[in-house]
Amino acid sequence: MGNKHKLHIIFFGIVFFSLYYLGLSGKGEATVENPFSELNQIVDVMDKHDIELTEWTLYTRGHLNHWTEPGEYEKELKTIQQMISHFDWEPLKDYPKNQKKAIGTFIHHDIGVIQTLTYIVYPHNKQLHSYLIYEVQGVQTLSEKQLDSLTSVVLFRHQDLFNKNTKIFTCATGNGSDKLNLGLGEQAELLLKEFSAQKIEALKEETFISISAYTNIWNSSLTTNEESMNLQLAIRANERLGGKTTVTIGTPIITTEY
């Protein structure tokens, strides 16, 4: 496998799982006490550079339990579903690689936000392991009042389901303006400068660029290839948008596929 394809796996793919399976280590992303801190800073940078926000995500994953006998996880799932009974839960279903998943969702129609809980069971080292993924997705900038209300919801959910050291990952995507008439590399450098970020790794193509970087602004790090990084940036030229770009900024990882 060439270096280019390795970068694709590390940067994108199903990134959240890939990081753990590849043995990368992380510390202290957006805190449970202030889950929207990095997202607010990312959105401020986007606004400054006329990048129209189209989607944002908070992403959390926690290991729950492990068993040697099948069936025990069903009790755990039932407990979670009873605890979060206002979510709309789908039945536990079989997935490839002997995985099982149950997905619950709750939609905040008034602010365009979706909460999603994904309960996953999969075999590893002759045991069954259960994990829980919590995702909060929105498509617009929230008012201060809306953000305060949603922060309370997210804090409550984390206190119920995860330990205090559970990491929160952030990702935001938007459509960049074509007014500056800059190349992808120049646009990326401008955005990195806003975070006082040092470039660690980069993948460049004619219509796409992704960069791993490190900034001292955030108290976070992820170690890969013996270097720390806590910011990823991706820019893609989008012909369908009349020459505009699609910009994705994440800390410490981008959770969208390339």
Q: Are 247 and 3 in contact (CB under 8 A)?
A: no
Could you report the per-residue pLDDT of 158-187, keeping only the tens digit for each?
999 998 778 889 999 999 876 656 789 999
Residue type present at position 128: L
pTM of the predicted model, to two decimals? 0.82
Host H or E run for residue 203:
strand 197-204
| Percentage with pLDDT > 90 across the chain | 62
Domain boundaries, the chain: 3-251
How far is CA 52 from each of CA 23, 132, 169, 174, rounded to the nearest angstrom?
Answer: 35, 31, 21, 5
Query: Mean of the pLDDT values across residues 179-199?
Result: 88
Name the CATH topology of 3-251.
Answer: TBP-like (3.30.2030)
Q: What is the pLDDT of residue 238?
A: 79
* Beta bridge mates, 172: 56, 249
Residue-averaged pLDDT of the chain? 83
pLDDT digits (tens, 9 = 90+) for 204-232: 998 999 999 999 998 777 787 788 989 99
Give burial (CB, 10 Å; 0-12/13-18/19+) of 93. Answer: exposed
